[in-house]
Every structure is written in C-alpha cells, then in structure tokens.
Amino acid sequence: MSVLSIAVAAATGALVGTAARTVVFARSVPAPVSSRSNCPHCAGEVVTRRRPRLLPVSGRCPACMGRIGPPAFSAEVSAAAVFAAVAAGGASGWFAAAQYWLAACGIALALIDVAVHRLPDVLTLPACAGTLLLLTGAALADEPGSLGRAAAAAGVVIAAFLLLALFAGMGLGDVKLAPAVGALLGWNSWTSLWWGTGAGFLVGAVCAVAMLAAGRDRRSQIAFGPFMIIGALAVSVMTA
C-alpha cells in the first residue's frame, strides 16, 4: 500500500470523524431518551432535526462555547488513524469496504459508549447490516474468504455475548454489535475470530486494571464497545 493511499484514507477518516460529531452529540444521552438537539448549557438548538449540520471540530457550542460532544479534534484524529491503519493493512475490494464501514460506524459508537455507556440501535443495526451486505458483495466477487463462515461466526459471537449479558452483566448494545464483529473476523478464519474477540477482552481487562490502579471505584462501569471494535479491526487488518 502506497503512502499516498494511506494519506488519502487518513484524510477521508478525518472527514468521517467530523461527520460523526453530529451523531455522537445527538445520541450521547442516557436511556430511555433517544436523542437530543439542544446544547445542555445554553439550551440553544445545535442540531436541527430537519437539516443536520456539522458541528465545530473544537467540540464547543457555537453559541455559548460550552463543551458539547467529543473533545477538540478527538473524533477526527481517531478516525484518521483507524482509516490509515485499515489502508496500511492492504485489503482491497468489498472486504476492505466492510472494514472501512465498521470503522466508520465504530468511531461514533465508541465515542458514544465512552460518554454514556450506550451503543444505540441507530448505529449498531446499520453496522451489522452494512458489514454483512459488503461481505456478501465480497463473496459474489470471489474474494478470498468465506461468507458461510462469516455468518456462522456472527451467530457464535451473538450466542456468547447473550450468555455474558444474562450472567455477567454485559450490555445488550454489545450483543447487537456482535454480528458485525463476528462476521468481519469470521470472513478470514476461525483463528481470526478467536484472536479478534479475545483481543477485545484482553485490552478491556488491561484498561480496567489500569483504572483500578489509578484509584477508580471498582464498581465503575467500563465501556466495552470500543474494545470490541479495536480488537476486531486490529486482527482483521493484520490477517487481511
């Protein structure tokens, strides 16, 4: 993969991160509220329901300069880095499109999960549907991989996460994101599936231990969605 291609991917990712700001702001609300459109500081309308607009990369309300959404440039830099990593992985065709799609949805999902410990359906469902649709395109184009294995892997991860939701307190949002993660990893191999899902739990455990060492209350919730996405994309890129 050329340096130019990686640079173009990073620039595209930065634009995706900017676009994600509106979604992150609108959906970073506690249940059962579905979305918001007004600044929590000055109550001014930030996102118009009829005509959504891009929010400033500063992460500040245009009217009162109060903090809204992710910190300045965080969404843009994160998305640029993820897109550049996907490009550096060297995948092409429909499978690469599936990686980029999960990355684009994953940036918004991760930022929302960190903010309010939620993975809203408005993003998890398109993430799953888009990933499966693009992998279907990869299968029709005879790209290396297996759609049947991807579908089976999605089912395995759903079942495992449902058990964790029932007996270990995992959120249902994580369960709804599981098919996208499982399918992307399963497309390559069962080994990728085990490594990808395991990486998410490993990184999450390391961060949990670090938070406890830093003095955080052990009862504090940890957003697992970002670790799911990081593990899936990292292993998918490395095994592409």
SS3 of residue 101 by DSSP: helix
Q: How far apart are the first and last CA of the chain?
A: 13
SS3 of residue 45 by DSSP: strand
Q: Which of 229, 184, 183 is nearest to 203 (CA)?
A: 229
Distances (CA, A) of 239 to 131, 148, 184, 196: 17, 18, 11, 10
Centre a 10 Å sphere on the Cβ of residue 217 and count the other Cβ atoms it contains. Answer: 8
The pLDDT assigned to 47 comes to 84
The predicted model scores a pTM of 0.93
pLDDT tens digits in sequence order for the chain, 240 residues long: 689 999 999 999 999 999 999 999 999 998 888 899 999 999 888 887 666 678 999 999 988 999 998 999 999 999 999 999 999 998 999 999 999 999 999 999 999 999 999 999 999 999 999 999 999 999 999 999 999 999 999 999 999 999 999 988 888 999 999 999 999 999 999 999 999 999 999 988 888 888 777 776 655 677 899 999 999 999 999 987
The pLDDT assigned to 49 comes to 67
The pLDDT assigned to 32 comes to 81
The pLDDT assigned to 103 comes to 97
Task: Please give the biggest Cα pair distance in the chain.
Answer: 54
Residues in CB range of 197: below 8 A, 6 or more apart = 157, 160, 181, 182, 185, 228, 231, 232
The pLDDT assigned to 113 comes to 95
